[in-house]
């Protein structure tokens, strides 16, 4: 089965023990965390100390269709809202699938209304908006490496603010619980293994561990090694190659016409067409063991004025060779 | 008494014998044609209700907004979030409203019902703290489309709750869910909560607390009432725990009536509260808190909406005074003494 992410193989994980890890590089200050959620926990905790989050009723504008566990975590500190009629104190700008939001419009709006920006770069470790790196626009940005690399775990926090970085380091030490971290990592590993026995039990245990995810703060050594190794192997270039291959294959259709070519290293590629056709393509892909589904993508790329359209995920991760990409493209083409 | 007094009565195994009591009849005698379902917890009740609204198409997807009160608990919020989008602000796409009768004191239901009907919203009454409260002579929890109740806030049952509704279709849906619930969770969660309650060592307690926090993430997916919880609730109903709670409330109101600390609320007599919110000057509240802590009462300064109107709330700080059935005459007097000391303390 081909999934939207590269599934780690046990042998690869074992070999990873011998990899050399190196710190993750990002412009400004960067702190590795166990997950993107734990990074968000640190950012929101910091915003509490600065008075931006006064109490749990302080509002944060979030995009529609955001992952529940992020919302749960946010609610421990503040109140997520969807409505843009009320001026929020903070905004979580989500570069969905790695495609940048309209940062000019968003920055302008946030400057006028004094709104703090947190960038959710879970899908966009590397991505650019008008030549500027995603994750460098807001007060802080959060990352999730397990979406990009087969590392199972791993996240990060980037900021230009040294105070925030210092605070996050201390807070990370204070909140980290070793045994919980082990439990969290084990459940996530077992539930991510698509062929694991009793997967529902592992899924339940993983969901349980998400309830206290802020207690697993520090990045797992193995994950850091896998991430470092993937950076060394320049796997993101393969991801980009697959993306461009897909765009070129369908250049005579309007499936991907709204997507830019340059500066993008996507998590998955949203295919947009009529709903009927989306379901037809989805069925065809599933029949050929290519995991996908119909989701929603903000074609306006503006959290303050979003326009969500139904889309289909097309996987393009680095584990897919050009031959496999051809198979995916042929399937889409014949089903459409 | 060596043990500390918490806001809720502590669970004990003592005198836990089978009592021939029908919980539904005993607690919801004035049902007036409404259906009552006993359920594993309040959040499970919430999960079933919102699953119903999703499945019948009233809530289209998880972005359908539900207006919730400020300061709503995050466990409650998390459960809602799985089915809809709870928001503390109302918007054009709001589909329903959750009314929270904080500490058991009813919200201004006339105003809220009128607004909800004007906007075609459904009303869910969160009666976690209002197991036996009345609003203009009508039972709280019976005024909206659905009422959800929590037993663990009133009895030392650790879990347990109920749903009251007059929506027959929803009733059938709930019945079906309860009949087909074969999950193991209700026992698992009970055991975790029990271990947490009974742990003496702080580190062990922390360990079980973490498990408790984790378990809340899937707490809502188990619907049937745990049999031990049922036994405890029956036992407490047999012991007239709600009556004792009312007696304790009356005692505090009478003994402290000179101090103007409860007079922001004018309907004490129609309420069997979870706790009584004591509203005083901020420094007095701190002193009261200190005095209560000296005699072993575990409480804190919280917020209470004195307007009792989620459309136009006015939250003020308050100290929660416990009134549960585990407080005996000796401790009631000690609490009164501590409160008076706190009010009169100059620092």
Structural domain spans, chain A: 20-175+217-228, 177-214, 235-335
For CATH 3.90.1150.10, list the domain ranges present in chain B. Answer: 241-344
Quick check: A198 pLDDT over 70?
A: no
Looking at residue B261, the DSSP 8-state letter turns out to be S
Grade residue A255 by pLDDT with cuts at 50, 70 and 90.
very high
Q: What is the ipTM of this complex?
A: 0.81
Q: What percent of chain B has pLDDT over 90?
A: 67
pLDDT in tens, A8-60: 777 877 888 888 888 899 999 999 999 999 999 999 999 999 999 999 999 99
In A, minimum Cα distance to B209 occurs at: A212
CATH class, range B23-227: alpha beta
Query: Tell me, what DSSP letter sits at residue B220?
Result: G
Domain A20-175+217-228 class in CATH? alpha beta
Which residues of A make CB contacts under 8 Å with B? Answer: 56-57, 59, 64-65, 68, 71-72, 75-76, 79-83, 85-86, 177, 179-180, 204, 207-212, 215
Handedness of CA A99, A105, A111, A113 (dihedral sign): negative
Query: If contacts are CB pairs under 8 Å, which of residues 181-220 in chain B contact chain A?
Result: 207, 210, 213-218
pTM for the whole structure: 0.86
Contact A75 B81 (CB under 8 A): yes
In chain B, which ranges are continuous DSSP H helix? 23-27, 42-55, 74-81, 109-119, 168-179, 185-198, 202-215, 227-238, 241-255, 282-294, 329-344
* Beta bridge mates, B124: B98, B146
| CB-based contact A160:A148 (threshold 8 Å) | no
Which has the minimum average pLDDT: A248-252, A303-307, B70-74?
B70-74
List the beta bridge partners of residue B52.
none
> What are the residues facing A133 on neighbouring strands?
A128
> Nearest CA to CA, how far is B192 from chain A (Å)?
13
CATH 3.40.640.10 domain range(s) in chain B: 23-227
Residue B2's pLDDT band, with cuts at 50, 70 and 90, is very low
CA A5/CA A146 separation, integer angstroms: 8
Indicate the fold that domain A235-335 takes in CATH.
3.90.1150
> Euclidean distance between the first and final Cα of chain A, in Å?
21
Assess B87–A contact: CB distance below 8 Å, yes or no: yes
Q: Which residues on adjacent β-strands are paired with residue B165?
A: B35, B146
Q: What is the dihedral of CA A11, A17, A19, A25, to 10 degrees?
A: 110
Return the closest-CA partner of residue B23 out of B242, B179, B169. Answer: B242
CATH: 3.10.620.30, 3.40.50.300, 3.90.1150.10, 3.30.420.40. Which one for B241-344? Answer: 3.90.1150.10
**pLDDT for residue A196:** 52
Distance from CA of A271 to the nearest CA of B (A): 21
Question: What confidence tier does B1 reach under pLDDT thresholds 50, 70, 90?
Answer: very low
Name the band, by pLDDT with cuts 50, 70 and 90, for residue B175. Answer: very high
A12 or A296, which is more confident? A296
User: A59 contacts in B (CB within 8 Å)?
Assistant: 88-89
CA dihedral B325, B327, B333, B338 (to 10 degrees): -120
Which is it for the CA torsion A182, A188, A189, A195, positive or negative? positive
Residue B15's pLDDT is 59
Instruction: Determine the Cα–Cα distance for residues A123 and A316; give it in Å rounded to an integer.
Output: 13
Residues A154 and A165: their CA atoms lie apart, in Å, by 18
- Tally C-beta pairs within 8 A across A and B: 71
Average pLDDT over residues A303-310: 96
Whole-number mean pLDDT of chain B?
A: 90
CB count in 10 Å sphere of residue B100: 22
Query: pLDDT band at B144, cuts 50/70/90?
Result: very high
- Which range of A225-234, B86-95, B104-113, B196-205 scores highest in mean pLDDT? It is B104-113
DSSP string, B94-131: EEEEEEE-GGGPPP-HHHHHHHHHHHT-EEEEEETT-T
Name chain B contacts of A76, Cβ cutoff 8 Å.
Answer: 74
Q: Do B74 and A82 touch (CB under 8 A)?
A: no
Nearest CA in chain A to B90: A83
């Amino acid at each position: 089965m081909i999934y939207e992410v590269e599934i780690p193989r046990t042998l690869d994980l074992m070999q990873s023990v011998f990899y050399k890890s190196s710190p993750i590089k990002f412009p400004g200050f960067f702190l590795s965390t166990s997950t993107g959620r734990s990074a968000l926990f640190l950012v929101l905790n910091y915003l509490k100390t600065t008075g931006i989050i006064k109490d749990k009723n302080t509002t944060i504008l979030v995009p529609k269709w955001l992952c529940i566990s992020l919302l749960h975590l946010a609610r421990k500190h503040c109140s997520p809202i969807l409505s843009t009629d009320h001026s929020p104190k903070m905004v979580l700008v989500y570069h969905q699938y790695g495609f940048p939001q309209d940062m000019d419009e968003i920055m302008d709006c946030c400057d006028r209304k004094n709104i703090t920006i947190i960038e959710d770069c879970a899908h966009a470790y590397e991505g650019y908006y008008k030549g500027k790196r995603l994750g460098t626009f807001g007060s802080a940005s959060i990352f999730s490496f397990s979406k990009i690399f087969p590392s199972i775990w791993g996240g990060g926090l980037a900021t230009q603010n040294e105070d925030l970085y210092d605070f996050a380091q201390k807070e990370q030490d204070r909140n980290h619980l070793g045994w919980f971290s082990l439990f969290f990592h084990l459940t996530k590993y077992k539930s991510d293994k698509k062929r694991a026995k009793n997967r529902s039990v592992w899924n339940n245990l993983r969901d349980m561990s998400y309830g206290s995810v802020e207690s697993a703060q520090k990045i797992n050594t193995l994950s850091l090694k896998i991430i470092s190794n993937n950076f060394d192997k320049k796997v993101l270039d393969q991801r980009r190659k697959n993306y461009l291959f897909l765009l070129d294959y369908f250049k005579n259709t309007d499936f991907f016409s709204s997507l830019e070519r340059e500066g993008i290293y996507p998590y998955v590629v949203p295919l947009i067409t009529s709903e009927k056709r989306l379901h037809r393509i989805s069925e065809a892909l599933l029949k050929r063991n290519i995991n996908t589904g119909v989701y929603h993508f903000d074609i306006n790329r503006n959290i303050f004025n979003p326009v969500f359209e139904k889309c289909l995920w097309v996987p393009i991760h680095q584990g897919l060779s050009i031959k496999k990409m051809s198979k995916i493209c042929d399937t889409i083409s014949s089903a459409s | 008494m060596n043990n500390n007094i918490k806001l809720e009565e502590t669970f004990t195994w003592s005198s836990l014998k089978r009592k021939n009591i029908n919980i539904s009849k005993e607690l919801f005698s004035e049902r007036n044609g409404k259906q009552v379902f006993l359920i594993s917890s309040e959040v499970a009740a919430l999960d079933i209700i919102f699953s119903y609204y999703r499945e019948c198409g009233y809530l289209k997807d998880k972005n359908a907004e539900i207006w919730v009160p400020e300061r709503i608990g995050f466990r409650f919020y998390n459960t809602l979030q799985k089915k809809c989008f709870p928001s503390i602000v109302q918007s054009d796409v709001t589909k329903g409203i959750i009314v929270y009768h904080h500490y058991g004191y009813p919200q201004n239901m006339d105003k809220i019902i009128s607004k909800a009907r004007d906007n075609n919203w459904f009303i869910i009454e969160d009666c976690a703290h209002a197991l036996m409260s009345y609003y203009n002579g009508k039972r709280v929890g019976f005024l909206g489309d659905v009422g959800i109740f929590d037993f663990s806030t009133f009895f030392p049952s650790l879990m347990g709750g109920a749903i009251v509704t007059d929506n027959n279709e929803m009733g059938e849906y709930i019945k079906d869910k309860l009949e087909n619930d074969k999950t193991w969770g209700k026992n698992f969660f009970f055991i975790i909560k029990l271990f947490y309650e009974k742990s003496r060592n702080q580190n062990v307690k922390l360990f079980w607390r973490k498990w408790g926090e984790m378990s809340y993430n899937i707490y809502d997916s188990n619907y049937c009432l745990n049999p031990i919880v049922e036994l405890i609730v029956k036992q407490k109903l047999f012991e007239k725990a709600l009556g004792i709670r009312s007696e304790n409330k009356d005692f505090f109101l009478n003994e402290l009536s000179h101090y103007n600390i409860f007079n922001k609320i004018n309907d004490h007599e129609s309420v069997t509260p979870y706790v009584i919110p004591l509203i005083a000057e901020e420094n007095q509240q701190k002193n009261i808190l200190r005095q209560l802590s000296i005699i072993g009462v575990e409480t804190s300064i919280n917020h209470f909406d004195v307007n009792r109107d989620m459309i136009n709330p006015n939250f003020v700080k308050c100290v929660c005074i416990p009134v549960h059935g585990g407080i005996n005459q000796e401790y009631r007097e000690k609490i009164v003494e501590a409160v008076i000391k706190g009010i009169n303390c100059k620092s």
